[in-house]
Amino acid sequence: MTARPPGFIDAFTPSMLYAGDASGRPTYQFAYGCPRTALLPLEELKDALDRSLSAPLGRRLLQYGNLNGHPGLLEALVHRLRAWGLRNAAPETLLITCGSTQALDMVCRALGRPGGEAVTEAPGYPGFLGAAEVQGLSLLEVPLDGDGLDPERLEHCLASARERTGAVPSFVYLIPDYQNPAGVLLHPGRRQALVEVAARAGTVLVEDLTYHELRYDGPEAPPLGSLDPTNVVSLGSFSKTVCPGVRLGWICARRDLVLRLRRYGSLLGLSALLQEAVFLLIREGTYDAMLARYRRSYREQRDAMVEALSRHLGPGSGARFTRPQGGFFVWLELDPSLDADSLASRCERSGVYALPSRLFHPAGRPCPPGLRLAFCFEAKDRIAHGVEILARVLRGEARGAGRAAAG
Ligand SMILES: Cc1ncc(COP(=O)(O)O)c(C=O)c1O
C-alpha cells in the first residue's frame, strides 16, 4: 500500500487559522472546513456546562460515562433523526462517536476487509480516503456530476468489481448533502435508485450526513437511511452545528451492524460532561437557534464567495465553479492545462490557502485539476478580498501555461 503523500492532515495546524503570515500580511483561509470562530457558541456552552456541573448529579459527569452514549443525548438524537425520516433511530440503533471522524474509522474497520475494496465518490472526502487507506482498503472511484452520484455509474462499478474479483466491494461511502469537496446535492430523484442498486448488488451504503442541517436554499432531500433503513448506515456530527471542539458525532444503523461497529469504538466512552451540555442545548431549543444563526451567516459567506468568483473568473478564465445549496465548500474546476498543486502553492505564497484536487483522490491516482474553496471560515468581506487575490494568481498561472504551450 502506498503511504498518503503529505498534504491534507499533515499540513493542518490549528494556529494557522488565526495567524497572518510571518510578515504580518493578512492570510485567507479557504483550505479547511472549520466553522467561523466568531460564530462558535462560547456563551451558550459556558452556560450549559455550568448548569450541567451545578445540577445535583453534576459531579457524576466527571466520571466515566455510559459506554453506549449519554442516555439524554441518545434520546434527543432519536427524536431529531426520526424527524429527518430515519425511522429506525432508537437508543439501541445509535452510537455516539468522537466526531464523525471516529465514525468513519469504525466503519472502515468493521465493514471493510483488509485487502478488500470499497467505493468512494470522486472527488472524495480526504478524511474518509485516509481512514480507508490506513485499513488497507482499496478504493474504487465513481465520478460525481452536478447531481451527485449517478446510480447507473455505481451499478456499473459494482458489477465490474464483482466480475474482476468475484466479490462485491464491502460498502459505498457517499456524502449526499452538499458533498465535501464538490458542494453538490445528491438529486432527490436519484436517491431511491441508489439504495436499490446497493441492495441488489449486496453492498452497504454509508451516508455521511455531516452537512444535512446546513441547507441554505434548494430542495430538501431525504436521507438515504429513510429509504432503506436495513441496508444504509447513516452517520453525522455535531462539529458543524455546535462546534468541532465538543468532538461528538453519531452512527445510526441496523441493530446487528451497530453491535459490530461498537467493538471498534472508544473502550471507555466519550466525555459525559460534553454530551450532557450538548443534550441541554438541544432540549432547550438553543441548538435550533444556533443553527438558524449558522445558516444565515454561511448563506451570506457562500454568496460572497460565489459573487466574487463570478466577478473575477468569468467565461474565458477556463475555470468553472459550483454554487452549493448548503454545506461549506465551492469546487473550482480548472482549465486542464493548469497544475492545481502549483496553483495552490502560488496562492499560498500570496496569502490565500486552498486545497488542490490531488488530496481528494486516493494516493497516486490521476485527477483533473481543481481547487476546494471553503467559505465557512472567513467573514464575507474577507472572502471577497481573498477570492480577488486567488483570481489574480490564477490568471497569472493561466498566462504562464499559455506561454509554455506556445513556446
Ligand atoms: C463530510 C465530512 N465528514 C466528516 C467530517 C469530520 O468531522 P468531525 O470529526 O469533526 O465530526 C467532516 C469535517 O470536515 C466532513 O466534512
What is the pLDDT averaged over residues 345-351?
94
Cα-to-centroid distance, 274 and ligand 1 (Å): 18
List Cα–Cα distances, 9 to 1, 216, 360, in angstroms.
18, 28, 12
Q: Which residue do the cell numbers 505564497 mark? A: 349
Q: What is the pLDDT of residue 79?
A: 97
What is the position in ligand 1's atom list of the atom closest to the CA of 98? 9
The distance of Cα 121 from the centroid of its chain, to the nearest Å, equals: 12
* pLDDT at 219 exceeding the cut of 90: yes
What is the pLDDT averaged over residues 135-153?
97
pTM: 0.95
Task: Tell me what the pLDDT averaged over the chain comes to.
Answer: 93
Beta bridge partner(s), residue 236: 250
* pLDDT at 406 exceeding the cut of 70: no
* pLDDT at 407 exceeding the cut of 80: no
For the ranges 30-39, 300-309, 313-322, 389-398, the lowest mean pLDDT is seen at 313-322
For ligand 1, whether the C-beta of 33 sits within 6 Å is: yes
Q: Are 123 and 150 in contact (CB under 8 A)?
A: no
Residues for the chain: how many in total? 407
What order do you get walking across the sheet with 355-356 strand by strand?
Answer: 320-321, 329-333, 370-374, 355-356
For ligand 1, whether the C-beta of 150 sits within 6 Å is: no
Q: What is the pLDDT of residue 314?
A: 83
Cα-to-centroid distance, 101 and ligand 1 (Å): 6
Q: What is the pLDDT of residue 67?
A: 83
* pLDDT at 212 exceeding the cut of 70: yes
Q: List, in order of start, the domains of the chain with CATH numbers.
A: 14-39+289-401 (3.90.1150.10), 43-284 (3.40.640.10)
Cα radius of gyration rounded to whole Å, the chain: 21
Measured CA to CA, the distance from residue 190 to residue 326 in angstroms comes to 18
Cell numbers at residue 110, please?
A: 468493521
What is the position in ligand 1's atom list of the atom closest to the CA of 32? 14
Cell numbers at residue 81, please?
A: 433523526
Cα-to-centroid distance, 104 and ligand 1 (Å): 9
Percentage of the chain lying above the pLDDT 70 cut:
93
Cα-to-centroid distance, 32 and ligand 1 (Å): 11
Q: Are 308 and 319 in contact (CB under 8 A)?
A: no
For ligand 1, whether the C-beta of 206 sits within 6 Å is: no
Which among 26-30, 114-118, 242-246 has the top mean pLDDT?
242-246
Residue nearest to atom 14 of ligand 1 (CA): 33
Cα-to-centroid distance, 237 and ligand 1 (Å): 7
- What's the one-letter identity of residue 265? G
* 65-86 core/surface letters (b: 16 or more CB in 10 A; e: else): beebbbebbbbbbbebbeebbb
pLDDT 10s digits, 38-60? 999 999 999 999 999 999 999 99
Residue nearest to atom 4 of ligand 1 (CA): 100
For ligand 1, whether the C-beta of 65 sits within 6 Å is: no
Half-sphere exposure of 353 (CA within 13 A, CB side): 24
The distance of Cα 168 from the centroid of its chain, to the nearest Å, equals: 25
Cα-to-centroid distance, 244 and ligand 1 (Å): 9
* pLDDT at 63 exceeding the cut of 60: yes
For ligand 1, whether the C-beta of 210 sits within 6 Å is: yes
List Cα–Cα distances, 6 to 3, 206, 364, in angstroms.
9, 27, 12
Q: What is the pLDDT of residue 401?
A: 72
Measured CA to CA, the distance from residue 254 to residue 231 in angstroms comes to 8
The residue among 226, 128, 242 whose CA lies nearest residue 175 is 128
The crossing angle, in degrees rounded to 10, of helices 42-54 and 286-312 is 160
pLDDT 10s digits, 181-193? 999 999 999 999 9
For ligand 1, whether the C-beta of 180 sits within 6 Å is: yes
If DSSP codes are grouped into helix, strand and coil, which group holds residue 219? coil
- Which band of pLDDT confidence, cut at 50, 70 and 90, is reported for residue 5? very low
For ligand 1, whether the C-beta of 93 sits within 6 Å is: no
Beta bridge partner(s), residue 235: 208, 251
